C-alpha cells in the first residue's frame, strides 16, 4: 500500500493537539459523495484538525486526491465496489494498516463498501469515534430480495460499530431510523455542500453550446448523472424521445459516463436522436454546462441529496425531478421546479414540456431558484462536521474518565512497519 503520511513534526503537542480524522470512501468517481469527501478533507481547519483519506487506487478524482496538500493519503489496491471476499479481506487489512499509520481520533466512512470495511477496521483497531455518512442507501427495492437482505444485514452489523451517523437528507435519516439502523439521537442531518459562489456566478453557457453544436436559441434539456442503475439514465433517453417530436429544435444533454454507456448509445440510435441527444462524457465545467441549460432534470431511482439539482438552482435554472428520498428537500414543487412520481416518464415529459413552452414560467421559477440555498454551502457543511467531530471526541474523552486527549487514546498505537513515508 503506497501512502503519504504526515510525520510527527506536523502535530501540535500537548492537550491542545489537533483532532486527527481519517476519511474512507470506496471509489473517487465524479459524484456528490466523492466531491463532499474531498472538500471536507481539504477544508478542515488545520489549526484544529489533521486529515487523512483512504480510497481505491482509481477513479476520475483520484489524481486530484493524490495532490491534496496537507492530507495523509492511502490508496487501497484491493478496495473495489463489487463484493469479492478475498479482495475485501485484503482491503480490510489495508484499511487497518492505514489506521495504524495515521492514528486517528475519528474514522469517518462513506459509501457502501468503504462504509462496511472502514467501520470494521476502526472497530478492530479500537477507534473511539466512528462516523458514517449516508449519501443514500446502497440497498433498495431495485435489488433482488436476497441481495438487499445481505446488504441490509451487513449495514446493521456495521451500525453497531458506529458512534454517529450523518445523513445528507432528512428522508435518509428517517429511513435509517425506520430500518432500525440507529436511534434518532445518534444521527444528524448535514447537507451535501457545494461551492455556491461558483454556480451563482456561472458563465460560459454559450461556449458549451458551441462546442456541442447546439444552436444558441435552441431549447436544451440537461441531466448530470453517472451512467449507473441508481440514476436511471435510460429514462432520460425515453424522456428525450417523447419530447423531440413536440419540440423539433430541442436538444438533450446527458452529462456523465459509466457502465451503461453502451445501452444508452444503442437506445439513442433506436430513437433516432443521434444528432440531438448528446453524450459527451464527463466535463469539469459543470457550472457552464448548467448555464447552457433551459431545463435541468433528474431521473434517479433513489438518492441521498442530489447536488446536481442544488447546483441547477444556484445557476438559476428550473428543474424537473422524480420525487425520491432527498430530492424532495432539494426542489420546492411549483416554486423553483416540478416533482413527479418516481418512474413516471410521461409525467416528467409533460412537466418539462410545460417549461419549454412557457418562458414566463421559466423566468418565475428561475427568480426563486436561488432562495434558501445557504444550508447547501460547502463551508457550512465542513463547519458542521467539525463541530460534530469535536463534540463526539469530547464525549469519548469523558467516557474514558477525562484523561484522554486527541491522538493519545485507543487507536493511536505506534504505526509499526510498512506504514508509508513521511511527508509535510
Domains 4-193+377-423 and 196-374 share a fold: yes
Phi and psi at residue 214, in whole multiples of 5°?
-100, 120
Specify the pLDDT at position 320: 98
Specify the pLDDT at position 17: 85
Rounded-to-integer distance, Cα 27 and Cα 32, Å: 12
Using CB atoms within 10 Å of the CB of residue 69, give its burial: 0 to 12 exposed, 13 to 18 middle, 19+ buried.
exposed
**Do residues 264 and 273 lie in contact, with contact meaning Cβ atoms separated by under 8 Å?**
no
Using CB atoms within 10 Å of the CB of residue 289, give its burial: 0 to 12 exposed, 13 to 18 middle, 19+ buried.
buried
- Within 10 Å of residue 201's Cβ, how many Cβ atoms? 11
The three cell numbers of residue 166 are 450523518
Give residue limits of the domains in the chain: 4-193+377-423, 196-374
**Do residues 418 and 97 lie in contact, with contact meaning Cβ atoms separated by under 8 Å?**
yes
Specify the pLDDT at position 423: 33
Rounded-to-integer distance, Cα 259 and Cα 257, Å: 7
Place of cell 439513442: 268
Specify the pLDDT at position 117: 98
Return the CATH superfamily for domain 196-374.
Glycogen Phosphorylase B; (3.40.50.2000)
Q: Which helix (H) or strand (E) holds 73?
A: strand 71-76
The three cell numbers of residue 191 are 447537507
Spans in the chain with pLDDT lower than 70:
1-16, 140-142, 400-424
Rounded-to-integer distance, Cα 78 and Cα 84, Å: 10
CA geometry: angle at 329 spanning 383 and 45, to 5°? Answer: 10
Rounded-to-integer distance, Cα 336 and Cα 327, Å: 13
Rounded-to-integer distance, Cα 223 and Cα 35, Å: 18
Cα Rg of the chain, angstroms: 22
Phi and psi at residue 26, in whole multiples of 5°?
-70, -70
Q: What does the CA dihedral 271, 275, 280, 285 come to, rounded to 10 degrees?
A: -120
Q: Nearest-CA neighbor of 118 among 38, 55, 44, 49? A: 55
Rounded-to-integer distance, Cα 305 and Cα 326, Å: 5
Specify the pLDDT at position 148: 84
H-only helix segments in 316-344: 327-330
Q: Please state, in angstroms and as integers, the Cα–Cα distance from residue 257 to each residue in 5, 10, 225, 227, following that order.
A: 32, 39, 8, 5
CA geometry: angle at 203 spanning 201 and 33, to 5°? Answer: 65
Sequence-distant (6+) residues with CB within 8 A of 106 are 19, 20, 21, 22, 127, 129, 130, 131, 389, 392, 393
Q: What does the CA dihedral 220, 225, 226, 227 come to, rounded to 10 degrees?
A: -50
pLDDT digits (tens, 9 = 90+) for 339-351: 999 999 999 999 9
Rounded-to-integer distance, Cα 353 and Cα 341, Å: 16
pLDDT digits (tens, 9 = 90+) for 129-186: 999 999 988 776 667 888 888 889 999 999 999 999 999 999 999 999 999 999 999 9
pLDDT digits (tens, 9 = 90+) for 277-325: 999 999 999 999 999 999 999 999 999 899 999 999 999 999 999 999 9
Phi and psi at residue 247, in whole multiples of 5°?
-125, 80
CA geometry: angle at 16 spanning 13 and 22, to 5°? Answer: 80
Whole-model pTM?
A: 0.86
Q: Determine the 3-state secondary structure of 282 from DSSP.
A: coil
Using CB atoms within 10 Å of the CB of residue 323, give its burial: 0 to 12 exposed, 13 to 18 middle, 19+ buried.
middle
Beta bridge partners of 337: 319, 333
- Within 10 Å of residue 208's Cβ, how many Cβ atoms? 24
Query: Does the domain made of 4-193+377-423 have the CATH classification 3.30.365.10?
Result: no
Amino acid at each position: 500500500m503506497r501512502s503519504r503520511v504526515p510525520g510527527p513534526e506536523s502535530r501540535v503537542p500537548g492537550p491542545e493537539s489537533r483532532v486527527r480524522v481519517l476519511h474512507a470512501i470506496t471509489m473517487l468517481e465524479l459524484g456528490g459523495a466523492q466531491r463532499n469527501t474531498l472538500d471536507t478533507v481539504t477544508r478542515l481547519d488545520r489549526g484544529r484538525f489533521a486529515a487523512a483519506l483512504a480510497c481505491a487506487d482509481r477513479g476520475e478524482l483520484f489524481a486530484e486526491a493524490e495532490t491534496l496538500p496537507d492530507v495523509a493519503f492511502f490508496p487501497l489496491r484491493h478496495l473495489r465496489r463489487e463484493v469479492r471476499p478475498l479482495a475485501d479481506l485484503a482491503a480490510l487489512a489495508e484499511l487497518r494498516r492505514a489506521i495504524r499509520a495515521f492514528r486517528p481520533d475519528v474514522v469517518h466512512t462513506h459509501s457502501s463498501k468503504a462504509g462496511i470495511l472502514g467501520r470494521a477496521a476502526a472497530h478492530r483497531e479500537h477507534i473511539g469515534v466512528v462516523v458514517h455518512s449516508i449519501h443514500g442507501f446502497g440497498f433498495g427495492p431495485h435489488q433482488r430480495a436476497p441481495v438487499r437482505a445481505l446488504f441490509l444485514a451487513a449495514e446493521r452489523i456495521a451500525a453497531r460499530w458506529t458512534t454517529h451517523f450523518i445523513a445528507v437528507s432528512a428522508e435518509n435519516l428517517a429511513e435509517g431510523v425506520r430500518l432500525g439502523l440507529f436511534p434518532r439521537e445518534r444521527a444528524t442531518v448535514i447537507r451535501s455542500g457545494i461551492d455556491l459562489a461558483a454556480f451563482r456566478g456561472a458563465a460560459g453557457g454559450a461556449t458549451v453550446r458551441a462546442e456541442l453544436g447546439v444552436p444558441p436559441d435552441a431549447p436544451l434539456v440537461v441531466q448530470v448523472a453517472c451512467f449507473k442503475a441508481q440514476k436511471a439514465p435510460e429514462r432520460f433517453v425515453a424522456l428525450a424521445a417523447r419530447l423531440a417530436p413536440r419540440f423539433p429544435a430541442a436538444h438533450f444533454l446527458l452529462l456523465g459516463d459509466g457502465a451503461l454507456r453502451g445501452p444508452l448509445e444503442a437506445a439513442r440510435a433506436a430513437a433516432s436522436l443521434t444528432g440531438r441527444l448528446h453524450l459527451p462524457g464527463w466535463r469539469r465545467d459543470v457550472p457552464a454546462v448548467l448555464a447552457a441549460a433551459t431545463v435541468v432534470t433528474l431521473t434517479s431511482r433513489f438518492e441521498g441529496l442530489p447536488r446536481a439539482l442544488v447546483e441547477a438552482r444556484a445557476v438559476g435554472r428550473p428543474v424537473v425531478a422524480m420525487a425520491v428520498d432527498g430530492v424532495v428537500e432539494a426542489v420546492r414543487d411549483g416554486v423553483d421546479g416540478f416533482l413527479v412520481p418516481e418512474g413516471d416518464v410521461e409525467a416528467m415529459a409533460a412537466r418539462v414540456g410545460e417549461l419549454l413552452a412557457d418562458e414566463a414560467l421559466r423566468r418565475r421559477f428561475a427568480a426563486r431558484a436561488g432562495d434558501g440555498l445557504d444550508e447547501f454551502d460547502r463551508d457550512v457543511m465542513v463547519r458542521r462536521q467539525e463541530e460534530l467531530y469535536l463534540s463526539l471526541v469530547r464525549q469519548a474523552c469523558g467516557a474514558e474518565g477525562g484523561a484522554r486527549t486527541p491522538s493519545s487514546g485507543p487507536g493511536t498505537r505506534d504505526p509499526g512497519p510498512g506504514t508509508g513515508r513521511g511527508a509535510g
